[in-house]
Amino acid sequence: MYKEILKNNVFTVSEYIEFLNNILLNCEAKIEGEVDQIKKSSKGHVYFSLKDKNGSILDCVIWNYYYRICGINLEEGMHIIITGVPSIYAPTGRLSFKASLIELVGDGALKKQYEELKKKLEEEGIFDRELKLKKYPKVIGVITSKHGAVIHDFLNNLGKYNFKIEFVDSRVEGVEAIEDLISSIKIFKKRNIDCLVVIRGGGAKNSFDVFNNEAVIREIIDYPCPVISGLGHHKDETLFALASDYSVSTPTAAAHLINSSWDELLLEIKKYEHFIFEKYNNLLNSINYKIESVSKNFVILENEIKTKKIFIDNLKNNLINNFSIRLKEIKEKINYFEKEINYCNPKRQLKLGYSILRKDGMIIKSIDEINKEDLIDLELLDGIIKSKVYDKKRK
């Protein structure tokens, strides 16, 4: 297809560059290399070069938004992997690589970044946040991938307490998940939930790097409801987990945490249930003893109970009847007042042929309130007549 277009057309320079850029959009790639010649614009965009051991150099740029969410401060000599697409800048014809993701290469660099960010957040007091999970939460916001067993493990371990689950599907592994997580957390900020749960399963150490991203962590700072992180088994706790209100090791543990106050309530109910049955049993034994002791008076007691039952039934019927009568009286009064209001409605008088006389917006009730040459308004049912007083006569 491209050959046919090229064969049958003569392009201007701008048209040809635009044509190439449209093709290059399909050339997304990951490129590894060493950072060189970093320049930052006033708008926060970062221009840099990427070179390899063969001496090849690629001009690169990452726009401010993507640079901020990557959470990496580029330095010359850094070994990184970038993801993006190539593009030709029309005014100069220069090829550059527009990066949307940046990843550090090497455990040492990742560890250094982790420790620096941890220290920075500690100094800001980010890890001191602890918003208590309210008792008996009902609406639970959940962020995780819809694929895999994690969401099923979480839901299967939630108690049968009629929870309302609001779920947002998000990638939870790799730098590609950064935007997903930020977007998902922002979605829940606009919803009324009792707690937010961010969960994923276990995995390799570097698969948790997204949860050490500063932009992701800052989305839960001053979050309006408690945040629970259940980020799988790993000995190195993520900074996201440290910044959360509650950090548990698995999605199952997150479900148990949410269940906890309901489980305690259920145990309390069962305790009172046992207490009530115990009291009832003791009372029943006491009554049986008394029945045996006063068996001769049982018939009298039975008759008295029947009498009381009849009295209660009559009392109930009387209350119902009195209520019905009173309700009927109220309805009649309402109908009466409605008729009175309708009868006194000025528009009813207008329908009968009467009119309302006003001067300066005030209703005229006496001939003494108007004078010759006054301008007056005469309101009829279907309109207003504006007039002038030429004479007046008293009855």
In a domain, 265, yes or no: no
Whether residue 125 is found in the same domain as residue 254: yes
How do residues 304-343 score in pLDDT, each as one tens digit? 888 888 888 888 888 888 888 888 888 888 888 877 777 7
C-alpha count within 13 angstroms, C-beta hemisphere, residue 156: 6
Q: Higher pLDDT residue, 308 or 5?
A: 308
Question: Does residue 195 contact residue 138 with C-beta atoms inside 8 Å?
Answer: no
Return the H-helix or E-strand segment holding 392. none
Q: How far apart are CA 363 and CA 261, in angstroms?
A: 68
What is the SS3 assignment for 83? strand
Whether residue 166 is found in the same domain as residue 256: yes
pTM across the whole model: 0.58
Mean pLDDT computed over every residue of the chain: 85
> Tokens 């706790």 label which residue?
237
Whether residue 197 is found in the same domain as residue 143: yes
How do residues 231-272 score in pLDDT, each as one tens digit? 876 566 888 989 999 999 889 999 999 999 999 999 999 999
Whether residue 132 is found in the same domain as residue 34: no
Across the beta sheet with 164-169, the strand order is: 164-169, 139-144, 195-199, 227-230, 246-248
Q: How far apart are CA 171 and CA 184, in angstroms?
A: 10
How do residues 137-175 score in pLDDT, each as one tens digit? 999 999 999 887 899 999 999 989 999 999 999 988 877
Range of the domain at 153: 113-260
Comparing CA positions, the residue from 119, 81, 376, 367 lying closest to residue 239 is 119
How do residues 86-128 score in pLDDT, each as one tens digit? 999 888 888 999 998 888 887 777 787 788 888 888 888 888 8
In a domain, 292, yes or no: no
In a domain, 285, yes or no: no
Supply angle C-alpha 147, 148, 153, rounded to 5.
120
Measure the N-to-C terminal CA separation of the chain; round to a whole number of Å. Answer: 101
Whether residue 122 is found in the same domain as residue 159: yes
Comparing CA positions, the residue from 218, 243, 224, 230 lying closest to residue 69 is 218
Whether residue 128 is found in the same domain as residue 254: yes
In a domain, 29, yes or no: yes
> Tokens 């959940």 label which residue?
142
Q: Higher pLDDT residue, 355 or 274?
A: 274
The rounded Cα 330 to chain-centroid distance in angstroms is 46
Supply angle C-alpha 109, 111, 112, rounded to 5.
65
Whether residue 39 is found in the same domain as residue 163: no
What is the arithmetic mean of pLDDT over 286-305? 78
Whether residue 8 is found in the same domain as residue 83: yes
Q: How far apart are CA 328 and CA 322, in angstroms?
A: 10
Cβ partners under 8 Å of residue 91, min gap 6: none
Whether residue 226 is found in the same domain as residue 169: yes
Percent of the chain with pLDDT over 70: 96
Q: Higher pLDDT residue, 164 or 360?
A: 164
- Residue 54 sits in a domain whose CATH number is 2.40.50.140
Whether residue 101 is found in the same domain as residue 119: no
In a domain, 269, yes or no: no
Q: For residue 18, give the amino acid letter.
A: E
Return the sign of the alpha-carbon dihedral for residues 386, 391, 394, 395: negative
Number of domains in the chain: 4
Whether residue 228 is found in the same domain as residue 331: no
Q: Higher pLDDT residue, 259 or 3?
A: 259
Last residue of a domain, one of 260, 286, 319: 260
Whether residue 78 is found in the same domain as residue 19: yes
Last residue of a domain, one of 105, 123, 150: 105
* 3-state secondary structure labels for all residues of 347-367: HHHHHCCCCEEEECCEECCCH
